Structure 1
Amino acid sequence: MDLLRFITAGSVDDGKSTLIGRLLYDSKSILADQLEAIERASKSRDDGEIDLALLTDGLRSEREQGITIDVAYRYFQTPKRKFIIVDAPGHIQYTRNMVTGASNCQLAIVLVDARHGVAEQTRRHSLIASLLGIPHIVVAINKMDLVGYSQNVFSDICIQYAELAKKLNVHQVTYIPMSALNGDNVVDRSETMPWYEGQTLLEHLETVVIDDDVNGETEDHHPGRFPVQYVIRPQTAELHDYRGYAGKITSGIFRKGDAITVLPSGETSTIDAIEIAETQLDEAVTPMSVVLHLATDVDISRGDLIVRSDIQPISSQTVEAMLCWMDTKEFKVGNKYVLQVGTSRTRCSVRAIAYQLNINTYEEIEGVDSLKLNDLAKVVLRTAQPISFDPYQKNRATGGAILIDETSNVTVGALMLVGEA
């Protein structure tokens, strides 16, 4: 059974938490004690209905304010598929939370309030989803009950979003009219919208085709990549010749006998053995965690990247990247940070801000010399040591990176590496 990880995003009060609660409730994925707890917490409601948002809004401050603040994760499964739900905040000041939550999702549900149409946060979250390379977008037009289940309202919002999607070059978009509060088209088909003939949300989530072919051998966007986590060198008489390199295969496939290159040093060798839990394998694929043994002694340490020699990544000290700034301190040209790509870390400095993206118009604003919290921009970095990476749009596993503040060790920026500057 495969796994689909998806995120819900949208403006404040669009009903994200209620939608997730309805999805869990109607699919009978709530444990008995959880159901009893939210029934007790909902007794004060005037309408006597269960407050489904309580299933995801776990912080006291979230319950008191009626908003989502932190990213919440929920797990459930149906007979057809397993799911991980990422519930992202809607407030603009929590955009950085959405970036971290969406970074490894395969699908994004963008909620739109049927009364308000496409809002600023809709545009912001859609832009982030496109930058992060999320292949599937579901536009959930919620609160249809408050507009009389009007087909015209639904059609108008579809037209609005289609224009936005065209600017973002997003192709796989699905539109679903629903009422999360009443359960229309979430799990069960709505009797109040007979004009809608498409799938319910759960039906779509169960059947959407996930591009999980991360083990391709010849495709440029699925090359063999193995960031070294740990060098295993036991200091015992029995294992004095043992030398293994432990890590997780982030993309592609490795076989015994493959020619490999170690980056950034550029040294070459061949795979002598592949081991997992003391079992020898002929091949290993994403996302297996294994120990590789090489035919020759090579100088390898944590942070190095083992790649198949036939398809190598970019290695450079000057890189271009799309940046989401996640700190209250300003990002400025000349600032210095620690850049982490996979297990590799190196110091870097900011060479330039090529342009800042306007969230509302998607306009590229040049001549910017600093960025503030939640700003999106294309930047140029100069690293102290060469880094090895693939363009993010080709390989999310080796194209994603973070910036770390040198003094506080706090992650201050999320990067989608574009290429060599």
Structure 2
Amino acid sequence: MGDEIQAMIERLRAGDVRTLARAVSIVEDGLPRAAELLAGCRASRKALRVGVTGPPGAGKSTLVDQMVRLLRSEGKTVGVIAVDPSSPFTGGALLGDRIRMQGFAGDDGVFIRSMASRGAIGGVARAAANVCSVMEAAGRDVILIETVGAGQDEVEIVGLADVTVVVLAPGMGDEVQSLKAGLMEAADVFAVNKSDSGGAEAVESGIVAMQGLAAERGGWVPPVVRTVATTGEGVAELMAAVLRCAEQRGNRRSFDFGGKSAAFAQDDNSLSEGGVSELMAAVRLGVEQKPERKRTPYGVKLDHLGVAVRNIEAARGFYEALGLTVVHEETVEHEKVRTAMLPLGETRIELLEATEAGSVIGRFIERRGEGLHHIAVGVPDVDAMFTRLKAKGIRLASDAVLVGVGGHRYFFVHPMSTGGVLLEIVGEGEAG
């Protein structure tokens, strides 16, 4: 390595911002000795690279601005790469986040670079990876990569970022449809931005519904976080979700959200055993400082599966052979049904036996035979959910909230509103 490049790398590692700007220009433009410079930079420790992508107009730039502010409040140094559309005449960027993010002028802890996409597939400039390496050599803790916002073609960012945030917002037309051709698979975390406006719930529900169609992501289910970028609401929760994803994948850097450090091992690419424990404690603390938002809207979770059988005594033998045990039996007179509950992990199986042939379960077995009768989901406030669904014109199979097994309160949603599945809504945490 030449003396000039070696001196430049030493100045980079010392945090000299002017040297950083010069080095970024060298590698971005492919100037002489760029390869030598990159070789020296790539020996540096790695930053956490966070991609921020999504359709135009979702508020990505404003959200990135708030993410930077949060990181700086925690004392982290940040690099921002804003990949903007290229001019068809000059090849330069049409817009620049160096103009949009003037609030960080004079803060050497934030380095912002706008780059023209130059026709690169996926909305990520070909030189962006090299720029990340230079920023890492300069000791940046986190690098935020904001893409063009062209929509479905931005999945290339997955290969560049450690964690990818897909930003959506209500009122943009077919928001979730835009995920089907790639962004659904690209997302590690979803941010429903502008959530203070109407329609955020529908976007969130659409994402959760589509997640059932997504490929397995190594056990990681992309959480959905609501944000309001103009005020910073939800940004701490968003960064906590990013951190959880990074920890699962073994990213080695140190972060501090909520006032508690997470020590990362600096001598290899994995977290030390103690670092993992501290990191998870930091995540929990950072999120617990504000009410945790569950991934599913309104705290909905699977409560039980209702299985219609001709005779409970005959049917329970199979389940008991699996190691399941009936913990509660009851006859619900107004439903003309006998029930038996068998816990199964965090949910339950409910066996349903008709006490009269003309009852709901009796008619079901007569028409279809034994089998799955309904799926039940629990909600924190069953009355509020009943009122909400009714107000939205969703067809219900119950005229009111009823009282069932063990005194739990419930109502049914008609299969015509659910794609052919009888859905029971039950009060969470109630006996039954």
* TM exceeding 0.5: no
Q: From the CA coordinates, give the structure whose radius of gyration is larger.
A: 2
- TM-score normalised by L of structure 2: 0.32
Larger helix proportion of the pair: 2
- TM-score normalised by L of structure 1: 0.33
Larger strand proportion of the pair: 1
